Amino acid sequence: MNEFLDIFLAWLLVEKGLSRNTLDAYSRDICAYLGFLEKSGITELSRIKPTDVAGFIADLRAAGLSPRSRARALSAIRMFHRFLLIEHHCDANPTSVIESPRLPGKLPATLSKDEVEALLASPVGIDPINVRDRAMLQLLYATGLRVSELVALKISDINLSAGYLLTSGKGDKERLVPIGEAAKVALEEYLQLPAAAPDSERKGRPYLFLSRLGERMTRQAFWNIIKKRALQAGIRSGISPHTLRHSFATHLLENGADLRSVQMMLGHADLATTQIYTHISGDRLKKLHKEIHPRG
């Protein structure tokens, strides 16, 4: 049945326009699912029953996967079987009667404004690595980019004179995002470095942010950078590149930005996805009210 996985991934790429990271996630989940079926002695699509799908999800639960991870896996399996049905590779969808695991109402983690300031100030000095890290952190907080969007930026995507950048998000949808003055200054400083300047020194590498070795910055490398800088800033809570994205959206709404504008800057297809940040802002307002109001 593994032959159908390759066809399915090609279909997702062409028909859905999914990113490479999303395709990799689908591939891992479906591979695990097909491996489970093979161990269960099921080698034909027509033999897959709802109990087999439920058995795989139960197996994930026994392995300690969170409800969110199990829900993601089930979503991939649903899409896989829907594809098989659409393309007439099978006559039934065994996932149609399977309920998704209940997810806790978890709000994204954010940093306070003081914590953000401390994080942005952590790369000190004119050492090239500090200059680069300062530019990356400033730009991430100023724009709310996903880490995959940040590391994929090319020099040609930045227009410092206009104060905007062009990024390509999920589904290869392009959007313009304001850079802001602080990030603009940090980028100008970074682009003055010999190794970062858009000239022959780059040896044809178009990407904006490069590693110590002059290669394109990876998501994993930047993950390590932000964790290192958070420790330097005295931030002990768990932090990831996405934490700055969440903080960007929350702080904008707290300062009066309208929801639709934040949605456009984040690149959310659905306004409901952006609305979660209104809950965070509301929780902070209630906490503030309780702390300072005479009858709070």
List residues with catalytic annotation.
Answer: 146, 170, 242, 245, 268, 277
For the chain, the helix, strand and coil percentages under 3-state DSSP, each to the nearest 5: 60, 5, 35
Q: What element of type H or E holds 175?
A: strand 174-178
Between CA 296 and CA 285 the distance in angstroms is 12
Between CA 36 and CA 138 the distance in angstroms is 45
User: What is the residue type of 24?
Assistant: D
Nearest to 9 by CA among 76, 55, 89: 76
Compute how many other C-beta atoms are within 10 angstroms of the C-beta atom of residue 154. Answer: 15
State whether the Cα torsion 104-108-114-119 is positive or negative.
positive
